[in-house]
Each structure stands twice: as C-alpha cells, then as structure tokens.
Amino acid sequence: MSIYTIKDANFEMRYLRFGKEGGQPIAVIPGAAIKSVMGAEEAIKAQYAAFMQDYDVFVFDRISHMPKGYTIYNMAADTEKAFDILGIKNADIFGVSQGGMIAQLIAADRNDLVRKLIVCSSAAFITESAGKIMADWKAFSAAKDIKALMQSFAGNVYSAAYYEKYRQAFDAYAASIDDADLAAFEITADSFEGFDVRGKLDAVKAPVLVLCGDEDKIFLPDCSKDIAFLTSGEVYIYSGEAHAVYDENANVLIRIKEFLDRK
C-alpha cells in the first residue's frame, strides 16, 4: 500500500508515494476529479513506471474535508504545508488542469520548493468559456444529476474516441458516485471562480514546460501560450488532442521526463 495521510491541526490530506525513496522528488498534482484519484493507485503507478528508478514520486490529493468557499489559493497553501511537513524541497512539480493552477501558485510563492515546473492543460486565469463549464459542473453536482455531470465532465475532458473506448469504465465510475462525492465536487467546481495568477508568474524562477492539446474544450491553447510567455517557459501543443492529453497520449510523460532529466 502506497497511500499515506498527512494530519495537521487544520487539515488532513492523502497522498501516494512510490519510486526511489530519497531520489529526486517529483510532486504530481492532479486536476479536479469527481472522486479522489487515490482509488486509482495501481493505474497511477503503472502510468509513472518510467519515473520509479530515479524519482521519489508523490501524488497529492486535495484535503479530505473541503469547507464551502475553499479556493484554489487555499488548495495551494495546503499543498505547500504538505510539502513542508514531508520535508520536500527543490521538487519537480507536475500540475494537471486545476492541479496546474495550484502548481503555478506554489512556484510563484515558494521558489525553495520547486526545481522545475510542468503545467499541462491548464490556465493562468479562468476564461469566460471555462467559467461556464465550471458553473455547469457546480449546478449538476448541487442538483445531484450524476448523468448530466458525467456527460459534461467526460465530454469536455476526454476525446470522443477515448470516451467510447472506455465507456464501460466511465459507466462504472458514474455508478460509484455518491452524495458525498457530489458535495465535494460542488465545492471543487466553485473553487475556480476568481482565479487569476497572471500578476504572480514573473516570480517563478524555475524552468517551465507547458503542455496542452489543440482541441482542449476547457482551456484553449492560448491559455498555455500565456503561461509559457509569462514564465519565459517552453510550450508544446499536441495536435488533435483533447484536455486529457495527459491520460490519452503517452508521449506527454516521455516529454516531461526528457525535460526533467535535461541538465
């Protein structure tokens, strides 16, 4: 079992840890999810198999009990606390979607925590179109309309081909969603409101790699170009790929490892 729990006076957070203990730390911050990614431990380990030999891999969840009004800024502050409690310094941070927003805040606030920063399928601020999607997710969660929520979530995150290929898995996932998941996801969807880190990104000192798909329905490629410009980072845009290019295209992790291994 690779799932651990950090308990602080103010919060509780689960995380996965695997790979080479004491190796170069890499912290993975996943995107918004209807259910915790901690239930996908074995799949995550398989996905990051190429990192196990040299990297001490940490995958951070959100806190276990998010209060109403909990924001991405709060998520970043609590993740920084988790780093401090675990003694993580000079880590490579890989943030996906909402996780990329958290990662940008950490890199801007705490240069001591970050060696290199990778952001995938994310944005430095919430565009009007992205805000509409998050508002829909919040409304569907509040109404406990699992069918509508899954259609919107899967339709905006994944490509049609990927969704069809794994339809049975998506159906099983939807069947496992309960009221507690919906309540937590309502808070998660609401947490995007007001996010804008553009004025902070000049404080990022670490080398930056930004990745996205050119068919991302949530955060258009211009969002990734903005992050790269504001951080003087590199950007790579995958042709024909959706928001979840990080799950759908194995080259993403290959490209990330090449960036991290580069001297």
Query: pLDDT tens digit string along 185-205?
Result: 999 999 999 999 999 999 999
Q: pLDDT confidence of 105, banded at 50, 70, 90?
A: very high
* pLDDT of 177 higher than 80: yes
| Residue 110 in domain | yes
CATH of the domain at 17: 3.40.50.1820
Placement of tokens 């069809």 in the chain: 164
Q: Is the pLDDT of residue 10 over 90?
A: no
- Binning pLDDT at 50, 70 and 90, where does residue 9 land? confident
Q: Would you say residue 135 lies in a domain?
A: no
- The verdict on residue 166 lying in a domain is no
The rounded distance, in Å, linking the Cα atoms of 207 and 223 is 18
pLDDT of 1 > 70? The answer is no
Q: Is the pTM of this model over 0.85?
A: yes
| Domain around 97 | 3-125+195-261
Total domain count for the chain?
A: 1
Is residue 144 assigned to a domain?
no
Q: Is residue 217 part of a domain?
A: yes
- Note whether residue 153 is domain-resident: no
What is the spatial distance between Cα 209 and Cα 227, in angstroms, rounded to a whole number? 9
Strands 55-63 and 12-19: antiparallel
Domain assignment of residue 121, yes or no: yes
Taking residues 229-249, report their average pLDDT: 98
In order of 8, 41, 135, 145, 201, the CA distances from 108 in angstroms are 24, 29, 27, 37, 6
Q: Is residue 99 part of a domain?
A: yes
Q: List the structure tokens of 6.
A: 């950090």
Mean pLDDT in residue range 73-80: 98
